[in-house]
């Protein structure tokens, strides 16, 4: 029995839609791997040797300057595809934010397999186009939004994204959730400093818009207010 048979993202990842013969072939070139929180999987500017599907957990994609400034340029959730197929180098590092499990492929194997399976390439294309849309709307946030707008937009996005992956079949966005980010990582997503993030969180709490039961937990008390603040 291939491990794909028991894969929880089997029907959401790019492997969805492959027939059982194809799944077996893909299974033959991939293997599961556990990544612990904080552990890197792919390094910026290294040769692109590895691509993967996220099975569970959350990972960050980052780029850094020489002097150590970091920007989180993407976040990968279960069923997302990570790595750079069809290109010699990865332009972003991938590091686990939580303990995670991924299904990794050598890039060469994956590239070859993908070129032989147009349906898979099509799924990858759809995903890449959607990711590009999301990335572009994040550029708007980075370039033109104020700190309060950034924080409000971020909380709403988290509330949407984390609802999708929850076990309980939730409808609509999550009211309460656990951030997979430290304050520094929130700052790295939004192009702010940790202090500014902290101050804005506190401000929203004092205004009764959110509650912060613990460092990582957020509860949205007044969603319309957040939507309005998000600009």
Q: 16 or 73, CB closer to a second copy?
A: 73
Q: Which does 146 bind (CB under 5 to 8 A by kind): DNA, a second copy, none?
A: DNA
Q: 98 or 182, CB closer to DNA?
A: 182
Strands (E) across 37-127 are located at 40-42, 50-56, 59-64, 70-76, 81-83, 93-96, 100-106
Contact 13, 81 (CB under 8 A): yes
What's the rounded Cα separation, in Å, for the pair 127 and 209?
34
* Binding residue (CB under 8 A) for a second copy from 8, 28, 140, 227: 140
Under the binding rule (CB under 8 A), the answer on residue 147 touching a second copy is no
Question: Nearest distance from residue 99's CB to DNA, in Å?
Answer: 14
Question: Nearest distance from residue 214's CB to a second copy, in Å?
Answer: 27
* Binding residue (CB under 7 A) for DNA from 77, 109, 117, 191: 191
Centroid of chain to Cα 69? 20
Q: Which stretch binds a second copy (CB under 8 A): 24-32, 69-77, 164-172, 210-218?
A: 69-77
Binders of DNA: how many residues, by CB under 7 A?
Answer: 21
Contact 31, 104 (CB under 8 A): yes
Which residues, including other chains, have CB under 8 Å from residue 18's CB and lie 6 or more apart?
A: 26, 117, 119, 120
C-alpha distances out from residue 132 to 45, 74, 116, 221, Å: 20, 10, 24, 31
Site residues (CB under 8 A) for a second copy, limited to 172-201: 190-191
Residue 190's closest CA among 77, 73, 92? 73
Which residues, including other chains, have CB under 8 Å from residue 230's CB and lie 6 or more apart?
A: 149, 152, 153, 156
Q: 81 or 177, CB closer to a second copy?
A: 81
Question: Nearest distance from residue 224's CB to DNA, in Å?
Answer: 21
Under the binding rule (CB under 8 A), the answer on residue 136 touching a second copy is yes
For 96, the token pair is: 């686990």
* Binding residue (CB under 8 A) for a second copy from 22, 56, 70, 219: 70
Under the binding rule (CB under 8 A), the answer on residue 22 touching a second copy is no
Under the binding rule (CB under 8 A), the answer on residue 129 touching a second copy is yes
What's the rounded Cα separation, in Å, for the pair 20 and 28?
12
Residues forming the site for DNA (CB under 7 A): 146-148, 182-184, 191-199, 201-202, 212, 214-216
């Amino acid at each position: 029995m291939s491990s794909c048979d028991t894969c929880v993202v089997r029907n959401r990842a790019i492997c969805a839609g492959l027939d059982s013969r194809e799944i077996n072939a893909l299974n033959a070139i991939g293997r599961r791997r556990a990544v612990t929180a904080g552990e890197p999987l792919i390094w910026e500017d290294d040769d692109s040797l590895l691509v993967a599907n996220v099975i569970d957990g959350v990972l960050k994609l980052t780029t850094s300057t020489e002097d150590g400034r970091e920007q989180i340029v993407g976040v990968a959730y279960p069923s997302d595809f990570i790595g750079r197929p069809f290109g010699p180098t990865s332009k972003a590092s991938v590091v686990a934010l939580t303990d995670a499990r991924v299904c990794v492929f050598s890039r060469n194997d994956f590239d070859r397999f993908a070129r032989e399976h147009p349906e898979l390439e099509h799924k990858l294309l759809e995903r890449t186009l959607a990711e590009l849309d999301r990335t572009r709307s994040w550029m708007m946030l980075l370039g033109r939004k104020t700190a309060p707008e950034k924080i409000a937009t971020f909380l709403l996005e988290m509330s949407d994204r984390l609802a999708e992956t929850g076990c309980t079949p939730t409808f609509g966005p999550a009211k309460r959730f656990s951030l997979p980010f430290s304050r520094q990582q929130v700052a790295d997503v939004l192009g702010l400093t940790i202090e500014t993030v902290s101050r804005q969180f506190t401000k929203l709490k004092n205004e009764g818009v959110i509650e912060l039961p613990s460092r990582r937990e957020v509860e949205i008390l007044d969603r319309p207010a957040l939507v309005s603040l998000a600009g």
